[in-house]
Structure 1
Amino acid sequence: MTFLAIDVGNTRLKWALYEQPGPGAAVLAQGVEFLEHIERLAEDSWGHLPAPAHMLGCVVAGDTVKRRVQEQLELLPPWDVVPQWVVPALQEAGLVNGYDHPLRLGADRWVAMIGARHRLLARGERQPLIVVMVGTAVTVEAIDTEGRFLGGLILPGHGIMLRALESGTAGLHVPTGEVTLFPTNTSDALTSGGTYAIAGAVERLFQHLAQHCGQEPACMMTGGAGWKMAPSMTRPFELVDNLIFDGLLEIAARRFGAPA
């Protein structure tokens, strides 16, 4: 009853093979591949894995990348697994989608919110929740106590911010700087500005959600660049390695019949 979870982001593909499709399942193998190297997955990373019984993925990189991933699965005939991909719905795994056009919500945002909410519920906690993903782009989501996604923010990640400034400002070259309280050089000013912009967005939505629900929310952060934000956050938060895998496991438990 092994289960393959795939998270295809804007720059990298992350995968994990689990013992079964459900929360808390043991990880049998896992890996990361940059999108430009997807074509070597079948031969290298996946070539020596046991055949998964089920596969569920989350993709934001577009249909072309999704087809490339599916082609790699087809190159492994012994697997005989039917790929399934998460599409945001009006409701799934206890989360209600409050987006104006639910299908236009990013699949990664939807899956990560499901993972975060169930992580909270598993601890017996019922409170509002802020979910932050820090990657190529940054998303900040608000979920109320009853599990309704109220809405969220999207803003550029560190890299996009710095590249935009470099391309749009004459003579400005973007070196790597440090986050400081009072930056006294351009490099630190750029790095600090981007970091505080993200932290400020989280703080603003935190305030909105606390006022809306009459209770301070919990906050979970995930994403490859989440560690960069940790020292600059103004509220307590939990840094989680991969909420998208947590969400895929929750959804898979319901779709494939494993106990939640």
Structure 2
Amino acid sequence: MGGIALILAVDVGNSRVRLGLVGDRGVGPLARVPTDSPSLEEDFRGALERLVRGRAGIPVGLASVVPPVTERLRALLQADGREVMEVTPESVAGMRIGYADPGEVGADRLANAVAATRHFGAPVIVVDVGTAVTLELVDGVGTFWGGPIFPGPGLARKALGEHAARLRGHLRHQGMHGLLGDSTAACLAAGIGQGYPALIEGLVGRAREEIGYEAPAVLTGGGAPALGGTCRGITAWDPLLTLRGVAAFAEPALP
């Protein structure tokens, strides 16, 4: 992207919608709107107006894993004549998808894989910590194979509160804690705070056995900061990786 060309990247996740202006100087400013907001369209329109500030003709990259929301936000984005380019398996350029049914691949996973491959080359691993934790695996010849998917730390904590009556009142502590717990709350904090880094470390190691020991691992996602930087084997932390990837899909619309 040259000069002052800008792309509006929109990432619709299960918990939040993120918007960001992406240009050759980086990503920002940013805005966030809860996906389940009862006033989603109004909140999104307000965030959009604050970011765009009257700039006309900015192309839009859109990635969504929430189909009912996709249509509503697409209509808002197109209302002012913006060209909206969605992240889909069909719109991926230069990357083979190893799924038997490429239509199953989430748009956020494709965006992550594209952004990571651009920056680090292939092979590469992306660990995205959100409502779910996903590993995006791109092998040495640039084929996207997906990777493990499992519940994120917040969802695991919520499930324990809903389904384990004796633990429900002990989930207040969400920080890091050593393995030696002196209370139920401390033990739960250790289970989440130490268990997820260990799980991620193990999976990254196994992924490297399959796609190459030299593969860098990039950590991203809204839940990643809560891990406290304790995941060994991570090469880089990029909280804006998904938005960078979403923007890449709209580059053909730049003037």
Listed as ranges, the gaps of 5+ residues in structure 2 are none
The letter of the residue matching 2:238 is V
Find the counterpart in structure 2 of residue 124 from structure 1: none
| 3-state SS, counterpart of residue 212 of structure 1 | helix
Corresponding position of 1:111: 111
Shift of 1:243: 1.0
Separation in 2 of the partners of 1:186 and 1:257? 55
| d(CA) in 2 for partners of 1:223, 1:18 | 17
TM-fit CA distance, 1:110? 1.1
Deviations 1:142-199 (A, max 9, x none): 2222222233011111111011112111232221243223222222222221233432
Partner of 2:98: 98
- Deviation for aligned residue 1:13: 1.0
Alignment of 1:168-187 (within 5 A): 168-173=163-168, 174-182=171-179, 183-187=181-185
- Is 2:66 the counterpart of 1:61? yes
Instruction: Supply the distance in 2 between the matched residues of 1:195 and 1:149 (Cα, whole angstroms).
Output: 29
TM-aligned CA distance change 1:94 to 1:192, over 3 Å: farther
Q: CA deviation at 1:210?
A: 2.5
1:135 offset after TM fit, Å? 1.0
Structure 1 residues 243, 193: CA separation in 2 closer, same or farther (over 3 Å shift)?
Answer: same
1:88-108 Cα offsets, whole Å, 9 max, x none, are 24x824322112321101111
Residue identity matched to 2:18: K
Give the aligned residue type for 1:52: G
Consecutive aligned runs of 4 or more in structure 1 exceeding 6 Å deviation:
none
Distance (whole Å) between structure 2 residues aligned to residue 130 and residue 2 of structure 1: 27
TM-score (norm 2): 0.84
* Residue 44 in structure 1 maps to residue 46 in structure 2: yes
Where does residue 228 of structure 1 map in the other structure?
A: 226
More off after superposition, 200-209 vs 102-111: 200-209
TM-score (norm 1): 0.82
Instruction: Give the counterpart letter for 1:145 in structure 2.
Output: G
Counterpart of 1:84 in structure 2 is 85
Q: Distance in 2 between matches of 1:42 and 1:230?
A: 30
Say which of 151, 163, 172 aligns to 2:158: 163
Residue from 67, 77, 82 that aligns with 1:73 = 77
Check 1:42–1:158 CA distance in 2 against 1; reply closer, same or farther (3 A cut): closer
Q: How many residues align?
A: 243
Which string of whole-angstrom CA distances, capped at 9 and with x for unpartnered residues, describes residues 201-252 of structure 1?
3223322233234523211011112112243212133110211111123222
Question: Following TM superposition, by how much is the alpha carbon of 1:257 offset from its aligned partner in structure 2, in angstroms?
Answer: 5.7
Could you tell me whether the CA contact under 8 Å between 1:133 and 1:223 is conserved in 2? yes
CA distance in 2, matches of 1:56, 1:177: 34
Query: What code does the residue aligned with 2:56 have?
Result: A
Contact 1:3 1:52 in 2 (8 A): no
Task: Describe the shift of the 1:170–1:213 C-alpha distance in structure 2 as closer, same or farther (beyond 3 A).
Answer: closer
Query: What code does the residue aligned with 1:142 have?
Result: L
Q: Relative to 1, partners in 2 of residues 1:213 and 1:222: Cα closer, same or farther, differing over 3 Å?
A: closer
**Equivalent in 204, 207, 222 of residue 206 of structure 1:** 204
One-letter identity of the residue aligned with 1:45? A
Distance 1:5 1:144 in 2: 26
Q: Which moved more, 1:234-243 or 1:37-46?
A: 37-46
